[in-house]
Structure 1
């Protein structure tokens, strides 16, 4: 898909509607899940008190093995409505709001034009909607299920044009200026292969914006894979696919990598901010071997 016109707009609030409206959220989830409004309200209240509570309960009820990829876990992703609650709460958590705001400002600072952006694994579609409201041309991808249904409803109600893809084979190669992939890699069975796919979607010079808390393998994050902890803080996961660090937040939430085909295009070795990000990555990599959560201020549970 290509676009011939573009009308950039000022940045919207990172608290994307309807995240600021509990009643609308509850009614929307009730419609999607065919659950009574009061049950939905109770589930959401429990989720606000303990992020992941419904997911944890259902995971244990089904006797699934935590932190290990399996076909049963794959089916769990497709069939549970628990991620609706989990992702509503996470998307209005102050850490995620700050991350979304940083991404919007970064893209505005780096390029004032409209960008072709792929939001890969965007769940409820909140980041997709935010970037569409900011005037970009956005493609949403996630696997079919409750969260994708929720996202489609948001896009329809917004009146904005969003390209929705639920077949990963249909995503255009070497087309996107930006691929946004937040809180996905820690869930996948083969992160290097997934990163290679991300690189394949980008034009040369395009950027991948990634947040992947590989270190969060605990009772609150049962679908984060233990086998992926070894990627915590490691840039070689990305450089092997031609993606090189160009910016980001010191806490790696997120980092920005550019698809580069010539060494002459690499960022300056004298960039102190990038050295800071690299050093924090080394810290995360080393301490992940000792603690399950070495970097407390990036966790999803912080209130």
Structure 2
């Protein structure tokens, strides 16, 4: 992303804030690691803390123009856009089963617009608590895409990219998302349970190894990976009350064993690297 960019249809104060953020960037063009650093800088400047949660400060963070900058970056970053195109392609291939889509935490609306571009018959609702002014402008030409403020119906498919690692109780949110999908509907979920940026909450990281256990307990069948992305495809095969006593017990177990699994995985990766290097030599 270039530092001197024109941002039409934005208020002067938002435009100035974006320009200020870009001036703080060290490299040009900006790379993904620098976007993450800019987001961390905003997180720190607002006094946010991923251990001691203060909802008012976190809300300011997710309303900050840095997220608009992140959305603009995604649309110029090959890996990010190819990841979203892969999800849109999968939905398009399965368009006989998918007429309505919910983009949960859809941010700038990039994925929703890609889905709509591939199939004009699919209706896409974007649930995003903090839509930017520019994101709202960009969907005006799409009759089948809109931002919504609450979940109002059951969908054929839900997409959720890199959201659950940002919330303190991802399993409760997962249950809400599943509730919004029809029986035999699909969920396409991409997670990043790693500390790449400060707003990824440590209490979610144990799900790196156990997420699919919880999707199964909540009535989903794992279909497999979405080729070309880090998303996994699930199908909702049953709808029944969530057994929260069982879920929370499994959550405690997952949290307890996570440090052991993390060390074991790191050791395995190190040994694998040594073995492969020896083979090359």
Q: TM-score, normalised by structure 1?
A: 0.68
Structure 2 matches for 1:134-213, cutoff 5 A?
134-135=118-119, 136-144=122-130, 147-156=131-140, 158-166=141-149, 168=150, 171-173=151-153, 175-213=154-192
State the 1:260 CA deviation. 0.3
Q: Quick check: 70-79 or 30-39, which moved more?
A: 30-39
The verdict on how the C-alpha distance between 1:54 and 1:116 changes in structure 2, with shifts beyond 3 A counting, is same
- Conserved 8 A contact 2:85-2:111: no
Please report the RMSD computed on the Cα atoms of aligned residues, expressed in angstroms: 3.3
Question: Matches of 1:195 and 1:36 in 2, distance apart?
Answer: 34
- 1:149 is displaced (CA, Å) by 2.6
Tell me if the contact between 1:118 and 1:179 (Cα under 8 Å) persists in the aligned partners.
yes
Q: Which runs of 5 or more structure 1 residues have no equivalent in the other structure?
A: 1-18, 263-284, 295-303
Q: Does the 8 A contact of 1:118 with 1:180 survive in 2?
A: yes
Q: Does the CA contact (< 8 Å) of 1:124 and 1:151 recur in 2?
A: yes
Structure with higher Rg: it is 2
Distance of 2:8 and 2:21 partners within structure 1:
8
CA displacement 1:214-249 (0-9 Å, x = unmatched) = 1x214xx11000000010132012112111111214
Post-superposition offset of 1:67: 5.8
Question: How far apart are residue 85 of structure 1 and its match?
Answer: 1.3
Task: Tell me, yes or no, if structure 1 residue 96 matches structure 2 residue 74.
Answer: no
Cα contact 1:33–1:81 (8 A) shared by 2:
yes
Match of 1:33, SS state, is helix
TM-score, normalised relative to structure 2: 0.73
CA contact (8 A) 2:102 2:124 kept: yes
Which one has more relative contact order, counting CA pairs under 8 Å at least 6 apart? 1
SS where residue 209 of structure 2 aligns? coil
